[in-house]
Amino acid sequence: MLYRILKAIISFGIRHYYREIKVVNKELLDRENGPLILIANHPNTLMDAWMVGFVNRRRVHFMAKATFFNSPFKRKLLGALGMIPINRKSDGAVSGVNNKDSFEACYQLLEKGEILVVFPEGTSFLERKLREIKTGTARIALEVERRNQGKLGLKVVPIGLNYVSADSYRGKVLVQVGRPITLEDLWKEYESNQGHAAKLLTERFRVELSRVFVNMEDSAREDLIEQLADLFVTKYTNQTDVSGEMNFMKSVHARLEGYSLTSPWKLNEIQTETSNVFASLQFLGIKPDFLDRPYRPLLFLRQFIQSWLFVILTVPVFLIGFIHHVLPYWLIGWLVPKMTKEVEYHAPLSILLGLVLYPLNYLGFGLLAHFWLDLTWLETLLYWAVLPLFGTFAHYYMRYMHHLNSKQRFGRFARRRSAILQNLRAQREQLKDLIFRD
């Protein structure tokens, strides 16, 4: 019961924090009813666990570092939520946590046909990189199959967590589910040579995880590819969803990897051209999106007038939303960096604080309105119900105003300096040819 309640609350927070969550191949999870181990990359700390739980219709259980279980109360609470503690060498042993008991709990869980979630990298860093995978997950899978003489039918499902602006409000997430990995060919090998079988299975995990997320070994290369995605995947192209953006990044990554082997000089040229285009855009104050937008003066003028009419007419709605939400919004933005320097914790902390501060904020305004304006309790409840809608609109309004200001700059620039704009578009096309033309 506690798990269902908390899942509903966290799911609400996740849906609101990220503007787009897309799950690819979810049917591969939904059709599996037996025991499963879900393995995933681990860039975003607690958010990764919440995201895996969010996309599963069945209850999931997690292996988590024992430092979360450093008191009897936490052990009881987290245990009720399906979390199993494990002592890691890097953290030291936590009193009251025994790894032998934890592994036994995993075996029994899987033997009951449940789902166990493991992040086999063991650590979390906000990067598009698959770090070294520990063999512990493979050993759990092979040991439970050995105990049941291969009759359990355990499968391991890789899940790729791909974030765009992972630590920013209204970012995007692509959750890609991979093909289930079976163990029929390895559990017998495990009986005779445990270490070798565990290494073979761990390598299989690494290969399958690499298929379901954008894996980049070089941080400088990652920065370059993200810049190129900003430049080419714009709101005026047909790749605007998170899936299209990730597919673009994968294709660019594959091209750059190939050039690193065959034409290393080309990488430097691509980096230089990308920097030049971005420098020109920043100097001129133009967003990359507008390079894909044709400028038609009459159409642009009509849209411009319609946009400003919308802005003027909805000012009262914006002000209501802004006044009711500015304090918790500002507090979260101020508190989160104070609470941790690690950006990997910014998103989950923002959601947790939001789930506390916004209801308290609504409660305060509701009670004030109830007693000051003499509202009935039914009217107060209706007032509470519409406040989140006003808040969402206020955030949209501010983003819209930012876009409208950029649109104005683009309109002025397109009228007065159309030749420079065409030159920028030509530069970008040359860069595209440099990347994709053989």
Give DSSP secondary structure letters for 335-353.
Answer: HHHHH-S-GGGHHHHHHHH
Residue 321 confidence (pLDDT) above 80: yes
Which residues neighbour 408 within 8 Å (Cβ) at sequence distance 6 or greater? 304
Residue 159 confidence (pLDDT) above 70: yes
Q: Model pTM?
A: 0.89
Residue 129 confidence (pLDDT) above 80: yes
Reference 214, options 257, 180, 179, 181; nearest CA is: 257
Q: Decide: 378 and 384 in contact? Cβ < 8 Å.
A: no
pLDDT band at residue 124 under the 50/70/90 scheme: confident
pLDDT recorded at residue 90: 65
**Gap between the Cα atoms of 330 and 264, Å rounded:** 46
Q: Decide: 108 and 136 in contact? Cβ < 8 Å.
A: no
Q: Decide: 348 and 50 in contact? Cβ < 8 Å.
A: yes
- Pairing state of beta strands 20-24 and 172-177? parallel
Burial class of residue 335 (count of CB atoms within 10 Å of its CB; 0-12, 13-18, 19+): middle
Strand partners, 117: 38, 62
Q: Which helix (H) or strand (E) holds 118?
A: strand 115-118
**Gap between the Cα atoms of 62 and 249, Å rounded:** 30
Residue 16 confidence (pLDDT) above 80: yes
Question: Distance from CA of residue 340 to its chain's centroid?
Answer: 19
**Gap between the Cα atoms of 97 and 91, Å rounded:** 13
Reference 37, options 206, 196, 182, 188; nearest CA is: 182
Residue 271 confidence (pLDDT) above 80: yes
**Gap between the Cα atoms of 136 and 130, Å rounded:** 16
pLDDT band at residue 289 under the 50/70/90 scheme: confident
Reference 236, options 11, 65, 389, 406; nearest CA is: 406
How many Cβ atoms are within 10 Å of 314's Cβ, its own excluded? 16
Percent of the chain topping pLDDT 90: 60
Compute the average pLDDT of residues 155-179.
93
Length of the chain as a residue count = 438
**Gap between the Cα atoms of 430 and 432, Å rounded:** 5
Q: What is the DSSP letter of 64?
A: E
pLDDT recorded at residue 220: 85
Q: Give residue limits of the domains in the chain.
A: 2-212, 219-293, 297-424
pLDDT recorded at residue 226: 92
List the structure tokens of 380: 């107060």
Residue type, 227: Q
Reference 20, options 326, 216, 244, 348; nearest CA is: 244
How many Cβ atoms are within 10 Å of 181's Cβ, its own excluded? 19
CATH architecture of 2-212: 3-Layer(aba) Sandwich (3.40)
Which residues neighbour 124 within 8 Å (Cβ) at sequence distance 6 or greater? 42, 43, 44, 45, 48, 344
Q: What angle separates helix 297-313 from helix 377-416, to the nearest 10 degrees?
A: 150
Compute the average pLDDT of residues 380-387.
94
Residue 239 confidence (pLDDT) above 70: no
pLDDT recorded at residue 38: 97
Residue 117 confidence (pLDDT) above 70: yes
Reference 138, options 99, 96, 190; nearest CA is: 190
pLDDT recorded at residue 398: 95
Residue 185 confidence (pLDDT) above 90: no
At residue 320, the 3 state secondary structure works out as: helix
> Which carries the bigger pLDDT value, residue 307 or residue 70?
307
Compute the mean pLDDT over every residue in the chain, rounded to the nearest whole number.
Answer: 90
**Gap between the Cα atoms of 320 and 393, Å rounded:** 10
